[in-house]
Structure 1
Amino acid sequence: MHGHLSQDTLVAVPAAVIWDVYGSLELGRLVNKLLGDVIGIVEVIEGDGDVGTLVKVTFRPGSPVDGYMIEKFTKVDDENRVKETEIVEGGYKALGFDPFRVRLEILEKDSRSSIIRSSIEYEVDDKLAAVASQVSIKPLAMIAEAIGKHLLDKETAQL
């Protein structure tokens, strides 16, 4: 079974400002600061934010996926503002999904706003259809909304 979920989040922040966060390790730091009690803790295991970087996400108790997952950055495209990751251990991979990929894309709407497009793509055995129905784009949408609000508040405070 192949699955794909996608969510566009409009934010009132320029695309370049959003990409400064999404295209770097700052995304994990802000997730910890803004949503650590909701999503969990993000820590860099290896790398500097480029392709090959390994990041561990330890989920908070009660999350749909128990324990942790390790994601590997497989694409970081500064020109097109695209980052792709694949789970290499734990999380949905431990449940039988292979591959399980996340794609984050920052699209410029105009000079003052942008769209954060969050996508999940996965493959899983048909016998695990009940587990596949639990895959949600909601955490990525929550991150997009929180980051957008944080950056807008930061930008407004500087005026």
Structure 2
Amino acid sequence: MLGRVLEEIEVNVLASQAWELYRTLQLAKFIGEELPNVIEKIDVIQGDGGVGTILNIIFPPGTPGFSSYKEKFTKVDDKKRVKETEVVEGGYLDFGFSLFRVRLEIIEKGEESCITGSTIEYEVKEDAAAATNANASSMVSIQPLVMIMEAASNYLMNLKNNKNKM
């Protein structure tokens, strides 16, 4: 069973400024500090933010589903402003998913605006879906990524506004 969900948000900053935040480990640090109700902690297991970087994502106690998983950066394309991660241990994989990929994308819209997009692509093993009698797509929610994009948008706008005041 294959699935895909996506969401986009317009941000009134240069695409290059948004990409500066999204492409690096600064995004992980930002999420850990600004959204503890979504993600309690992000530990860098290996890497410097490029392809091959592995993060351990830890969720707050009481979060439905699972407490953590490890994800690996599989693509960081500075030209297209696309970053992809895949769950490599725990989390969705423990529930019968064979693939759980998140794509973050920054699309230039105009001189002073861009679109931040998040896409989740997933695949569930047929035998796992049948065995649990569960609808795997009900486990997949774009909402945490929307919250991250909104918080990142506010952060970027504050940076822009503070820079303009100087």
Partner of 2:63: 63
Higher mean alpha-carbon deviation, 149-158 vs 81-90, is at 149-158
The answer to whether 1:147 aligns with 2:152 is yes
Shift of 1:66: 1.8
1:138 to 135, 143, 151: 143
Q: Distance in 2 between matches of 1:9 and 1:65?
A: 27
The answer to whether 1:76 aligns with 2:80 is no
AA in 1 matched with 2:111: S
Shift of 1:86: 0.5
Alignment of 1:9-24 (within 5 A): 9-24=9-24
Shift of 1:64: 3.0
The answer to whether 1:101 aligns with 2:106 is no
AA in 2 matched with 1:115: I
TM-score, normalized by length of structure 2?
0.91
Between Structure 1 and Structure 2, how many residues are aligned? 159
AA in 1 matched with 2:64: P
Q: Distance in 1 between matches of 2:117 and 2:38?
A: 21
Shift of 1:77: 0.2
TM-aligned CA distance change 1:65 to 1:13, over 3 Å: farther
Q: CA RMSD in A?
A: 1.2
Runs of 4+ that moved beyond 3 A: none
Q: Secondary structure at the match of 1:37?
A: coil
Shift of 1:10: 1.1
AA in 1 matched with 2:54: L
Structure with higher Rg: it is: 2
Q: Secondary structure at the match of 1:158?
A: helix
AA in 2 matched with 1:83: K
TM-score, normalized by length of structure 1?
0.95
Contact 1:39–1:63 (Cα < 8 Å) also in 2 = no
Shift of 1:132: 2.6
Q: Secondary structure at the match of 1:148?
A: helix
Question: Unaligned regions of 5+ residues in structure 1, if any?
Answer: none
